[in-house]
Amino acid sequence: MEKNNKSIKKKILIIDNGGTVSMKRSGGVLKPVDGKEDIRRLIYQITRPVELYYTRADQIDSANSYPPLMKKIFDTIVENYSEYDGFIVLSGTDTLAYLSSFLSFWLFEIHKPVVITGSQKPLNELGSDAPGNIYYSIMFACEDIPEVTVFFGKHLYRGNRATKLDSQGFDAFDSPNFLPLGHVDALHHRIHSPLESLLRPAQKETFQYAWSDRVAIVALYPGLKPDILEWMLSSDYRGIIMEAYGMGNMPFEGPFSLEKTTKKLVDSGVVACVKSSCLKGGVHVEYETAKRFADVGAIYLRDITREAAYAKLSWLTGKTDDIERIRSEMFRSMCGEMLPVEQEDKWKICH
């Protein structure tokens, strides 16, 4: 029988990593607890023709998460990859977009759907958004969407394009520079893009966990001292993401000029990248305040998110010491995390 036959039930593994969805109130605050039974009761009520399985990776508040802990989710997916048709990850929302970005690189060329979701209100509380998020994540995990995605509220987003915009609202996530992959309403769950516009793996899966703690994000503000970048150089940082003004502009005049320090970083083998501090749009070498930094070797990352930029650079620097390879890979779009360079002129016109 064909695997894609609609009469065949898909096998979906739900990986519980904690977060608000399974928290309970104690002493007036929300704390992680064992929410396994609440989650299992919910998923076993689902009558959709799908086989659902549950496992736990961790039980934490996502604010306490970091890449080696996120690796537990990666390991769970890899260990069970041949047994299931799709995967759902339940996560806290604070670092969910970092998790989805990391997994998009660690699970490079994945051939199966991974949907990450969570909730703003615990499953056991009246009015929780958890049941809907979990239910619709299951529906999308049964589709032919071979990439890491985020479902939250009403929309399905590419995992390395999503970012958290609202600390309280049920529509907490958005994808400012890339249209949602799908949405739900009272009658349907729809995939927006034709399947050919989704990520189609070009080759066999090349899963690889890697991470370097020698990568930092520096947000620009008027009066930022170059000493901060100098300190990173003396502390053996290998990569820096600078969140610049507007389209990638940074100061090159006056006491707070960053031009000489940026050149020093690049000449010393540090991979210096530039992204916009704006949520929408991206960087483009349009002004002298950008061109000077591009000329000394800073890499302009077009319309990438903060989370994807950090995940990508720390993944690459964890994989290899080859600076030129890292620079080359940072410049190109590897798995849909930013606009391909050949489309940059089109992006400039649209914005």
Provide the annotated active-site residues: 20
According to DSSP, the residues that pair with 241 across neighbouring strands are 217, 273
Per-residue burial over 314-339, b = 16 or more CB atoms within 10 Å of its CB, e = otherwise: bbbbbbeeeeeebbebbeebbbbbbb
Instruction: Identify the residue whose tokens are 């023709």.
Output: 49
User: Residue for token digits 């899966």?
Assistant: 205
Q: What angle do CA 329, 152, 48 make, to 5 degrees?
A: 110
Cβ density class 155-183: b for 16+ within 10 Å, e for less: bbbbbbbbbbeeeeebebbbbebbebbbb
Residues whose CB is less than 8 angstroms from the CB of residue 135 and which lie 6 or more positions away in sequence, other chains included: 46
Tell me how far apart the alpha carbons of residues 130 and 268 are, in angstroms, rounded to a whole number.
Answer: 48
Token representation of residue 156? 């399905």
CB atoms within 10 A of CB 226: 17
What is the identity of the amino acid at 87?
Answer: F
User: Is residue 326 left, alpha or beta, with left meaning phi > 0 and alpha meaning psi from -120 to 50?
Assistant: alpha
**Nearest-angstrom CA–CA distance, 66 and 215:** 13
